[in-house]
Structure 1
Amino acid sequence: MANDFFEFKEFKINQKNAAMKVCTDSCLFGALVPVKNEYKILDIGTGTGLLSLMLAQKKQLT
């Protein structure tokens, strides 16, 4: 049975009622997307918001 949450180092997503749960594909996509010197991130149809959280975390590291 899947967990009701997904946890990375800097954030935790409660996905109990989410239609699209966090999966390996989304984690790989978020890890491989390059982060440029942009100040804003727009994630339309966020679902759990995983990609925007991952990109924001990457931006803090750069």
Structure 2
Amino acid sequence: MNLYTKTSNAPIMPVKTATVSGSNSNTEPSLVMIGFGGLSEEEIEKGIAVLRNAWFSEM
């Protein structure tokens, strides 16, 4: 299962890098871009915790 799929049930909005403006078709499949624009520090910390739980809960 890939990281994008693991976040499908999380309260976040994953976007594949191919759909991000400015990215090109040569983007590495393992590239992860994380954006927290307009969020407070507390919201950023919660977002990181959600990603950690979604991506690494099986480890």
TM-based fold match above 0.5? no
TM-score when normalising by structure 1:
0.29
More helix by share: 2
TM-score when normalising by structure 2:
0.30
Q: Which has the higher contact order (CA 8 A, sep 6+)?
A: 2
